[in-house]
Structure 1
Amino acid sequence: MSIFKFLYSKNNIKRKILDIKDEMRKEVSSFTSEKVRVDYFGAYDINPKNLVFWICIESDKEKNKLKNDTLLMNMLKNLLIKYNYPRSAIELIFIDFQSQETIDREYAGNWYYFYK
């Protein structure tokens, strides 16, 4: 949980993103026994549609399982609604999964190179 989110009012877009991120981690953790981390980035302060969430886990096998779970994906998208993210942007927000296994294999273990 990010304690820094309390620096922002609940109506601030950054606070909404941090709340969504924390709850995404909890939701995904209920679907897997692997360690879960949620990263986000984008120029959402310019336009709320410019936002990406990456759910980071350990294995490719689990990544593929979670990525194809329509119930989980719907739950994750619904968090945007729950936290009053701008409705016009919700369908444009990118949510995906990536594994440490892929990062190790294709990016020499460096998440920065993957995100770049």
Structure 2
Amino acid sequence: MSKIWRNIVACTQEEVKATFRELYASVDFGAYIAPQDYFVSYIFKTEEELSKAKETGLLQKINDCHKKLLHEKEYPGEGIKDCTFASQEDCDKEWNGNWYHYYK
């Protein structure tokens, strides 16, 4: 079943990024083990872009879209939760671009 969950998460991330062109990338951790333990983070290129998205309500729109798509794709309910946000700029500065260490 984990392959199905992985595909749902991957498809959801791609749809969200296609819908919100402001996004630079996305990362996810844990989706392959158990749906309740996964999370997705959508990445903006700069801290300034991330801050602007927060101020304008864009982060909430992205989060709502993310959760809606997971629900529509029948991802297990216990795994549907808020996504997180970060900037590539911050990860590069603090962790030399290593997202695993960034979220550890």
TM-score (norm 1): 0.69
Aligned to 1:47: 34
Aligned to 1:16: 8
Partners of 1:39 and 1:45 in 2: CA distance:
13
Identical columns (%): 26
Aligned to 1:84: 74
Structure 1 unaligned runs (5+)? 1-7
Tell me by how many angstroms 1:46 deviates.
4.2
- Between Structure 1 and Structure 2, how many residues are aligned? 99
Tell me by how many angstroms 1:109 deviates.
3.7
Tell me by how many angstroms 1:59 deviates.
0.7
Structure 2 unaligned runs (5+)? none
Higher radius of gyration, 1 or 2:
1
Aligned to 1:56: 43
Aligned to 2:99: 111
Residue 75 of structure 1 pairs with residue 65 of structure 2: yes
Q: Where is the helix percentage greater, Structure 1 or Structure 2? A: 2
Aligned to 1:99: 87
- Cα pair distance change 1:17/1:72, threshold 3 Å: closer
Tell me by how many angstroms 1:71 deviates.
2.4
RMSD: 2.2
Amino acid at match of 2:89: E
Q: Which has the higher contact order (CA 8 A, sep 6+)?
A: 2
Question: What secondary structure sits across from 1:85 in the alignment?
Answer: coil
Partners of 2:33 and 2:9 in 1: CA distance:
14
Partners of 2:82 and 2:68 in 1: CA distance:
13
